[in-house]
Structure 1
Amino acid sequence: MRYKFKNYDFVKASKTFFIVSAILTLLGIASLSIFGLNYGIDFQSGSSVDISVTKKIDKTQLEGFIDSEQFGKYTMTAGSERVSLRFEKSLSEEQQEKLEDDFKAKFDDKAAFEVNIVDVDIAREQETNALYGILIASLGIVIYVAIRFEWRFAVAAVISLLHDAFIVITLFSLLRLEVNLPFIVAILTIVGYSINDTVVIFDRIRENLRFAKLKTDEDLKTLVNNSVSQTLTRSVNTVMTVAFAAICLFVFGSESIKMFSLAMIFGLICGAYSSIFIASPIWLLLRRRSKPKKPVKAQSASN
């Protein structure tokens, strides 16, 4: 499928996207400062109980049953074949056995239980390791792009990547969606897809620079618009293909990968527009500012 945007001014349109991204960034900072993230069991202490059932269970009755067990605050996700419970406090062995025996007696005697417990130290370690993973990935991308292209491309690429990751984190914070280890995997995957689209556009810009005769700022702007237009079909088709797969995973996949799929959908959309409307215009801005000044002609000896 081909998209015809030969005469479209991507650089001019990027100003609108800059404003939108700035607003989302401010909302994200405010949301993270006030509400923080809704951490799952992977990043906070507590117990995770996954129950595989062989029959359909009424959600209202199940909530009443869990409340009656009096194990403290919890969240529940119930599907047709699986029930996932996240307790804020770690369950003792006696509580685990009581929950399993009572559930089987009331709902499904063939249900299978899987219980995971995370203490505070492990939760903090996993959170720290996740941040390190994102930072190391970003650093590696900076080095790669700087070596393959130049520092302006590297700066623009990293700003674009951080933008994509932060927008997804903002959406999860605003919507109070659960953040777990699959979410971190999704962020790293988004970074990979985003840099792929960005590098394709940057490669075309670099190629066009070799043959371009740049005399004015308008020539440089036209070069960026043409480069984006020439790679747009590939970028959009790639994103649509992966987004379709992510949507299918979200709709038909199990409860355990829904947040991963949703983060991928958000990230792919952000990555598609940031590669076009954020990364390339930032490179153009840096290129304009670093243009050498014209040398002043020496005055004649007579003067």
Structure 2
Amino acid sequence: MNFKKQIDFVHVSKYFYSLSIILTIVGLISLAVFGLNYGVDFKAGSNVDVSLSKSLTSAQIQPILDEIGMGEGTSITPGEKRINIRFNEVLTEDNNNTLKLEIQKLDSSASFEINTVDTEMAKELGRNAIYAVLLSCIGIIIYVSIRFEWRFGVAAIVALIHDAFLVITVFSVFQLEVDLIFITAVLTIIGYSINDTIVIFDRIRENLRFAKLKTKEDIVVLVNKSVNQMIKRSLYTALTVFIAALFLFLFGGESIRMFSFAMVIGLIFGAYSSIFIASPLWLLLKSKQKNKPVGKAS
């Protein structure tokens, strides 16, 4: 990939801004109408993971659930020599024993792993997940503001929120399950995105030292020059991590499938936000700087 010609990223960014605004509106509508499909980690219920010596179908399991009076609203996910059953209610001890007994009639070698989350625990996990994301964002904006300047910090945090929200949008639109693994993926995406953004910001700061900026056009030239200098590095890094995440999604186990999928889409959003969202936003904030020399960071 050879970038001999300087690309006008600032000019192109307006199309990506429009795309991001459209996706954000879609996300807000989807969250308002459908919400998120919370897993057992964030709502009361029981998750039963059954290891088998042979494969069983949903049709074989459903009568057992009907027998214990928990057939409605229960999700059954069959796999190769395993099956996962998710209940919207907490299993009682009697229900638990009956379920094990009936499944072992179909497969005597069946073994069970049961995770139960009560209402209070689900609320606490939800609050802690929100706190984790908020605290990470606050820490990032403080670090970037001290290390660079507050305009870089604002631009970086907008890009991070953009990436995280668009991943949430995809999970809301397609009603994919949101659990603690998903929160881990979001925090990982935030870490990757800020790393990519900081690399570009660092080059902008280096070029600022030698630039004589008098007009907004001078800042546009500076940003385009900086992004063009770092575009290869950003794309190659994004592509390398993307390929790893994609193969984890395609060939990894069921337990990490949603993590891998969140990483795949998060890497795509993160790559373009660092280039087309964060840097042009810093330019916008810098061009509005008043009563100070344009070329100095403050």
TM-score, normalised on structure 2? Answer: 0.93
Q: 4+ runs of 1 displaced by more than 6 Å? A: none
1:201-235 deviation line (CA, Å, top 9, x unaligned): 00000001111122332221111111111111111
Q: CA deviation at 1:45?
A: 0.2
Which segment drifts farther, 41-50 or 260-269? Answer: 260-269
Which segment drifts farther, 261-270 or 51-60? Answer: 51-60
1:79-127 deviation line (CA, Å, top 9, x unaligned): 2133211100111111111111111212x21121011111110000000
- 2:24 is matched with 25
Which segment drifts farther, 40-49 or 111-120? Answer: 111-120
Instruction: Look up the SS of the partner of 2:48 in the other structure.
Output: strand
Instruction: Look up the SS of the partner of 1:211 in the other structure.
Output: coil
- 1:192 is matched with 191
Which segment drifts farther, 153-162 or 97-106? Answer: 97-106
Q: CA deviation at 1:256?
A: 1.6
- 1:282 is matched with 281
Q: Write the mapping of 1:76-225 to structure 2, written as runs, cut at 5 A.
A: 76-106=76-106, 108-225=107-224
Structure 1 vs Structure 2 CA RMSD: 1.6
Q: CA deviation at 1:44?
A: 0.2
- 1:55 is matched with 54
Conserved? CA contact 1:28–1:167, under 8 Å: yes
Q: Write the mapping of 1:37-76 to structure 2, written as runs, cut at 5 A.
A: 37-63=36-62, 65-67=64-66, 69-71=68-70, 72-76=72-76
Instruction: Look up the SS of the partner of 2:239 in the other structure.
Output: helix
Structure 1 or 2, whichever has the larger Rg, is 1
Any stretches of 5+ residues in structure 1 without a counterpart? 295-303
Q: Write the mapping of 1:203-282 to structure 2, written as runs, cut at 5 A.
A: 203-282=202-281
Any stretches of 5+ residues in structure 2 without a counterpart? 294-298
* CA spacing shift, 1:196–1:3, aligned 2, 3 Å: farther
Instruction: Look up the SS of the partner of 1:49 in the other structure.
Output: strand
What is the percent sequence identity of the aligned residues? 54
Instruction: Look up the SS of the partner of 1:239 in the other structure.
Output: helix
Conserved? CA contact 1:77–1:255, under 8 Å: no
Instruction: Look up the SS of the partner of 2:21 in the other structure.
Output: helix
TM-score, normalised on structure 1? Answer: 0.92
- 1:298 is matched with none
Conserved? CA contact 2:40–2:117, under 8 Å: yes
Conserved? CA contact 2:151–2:282, under 8 Å: yes
- 2:296 is matched with none
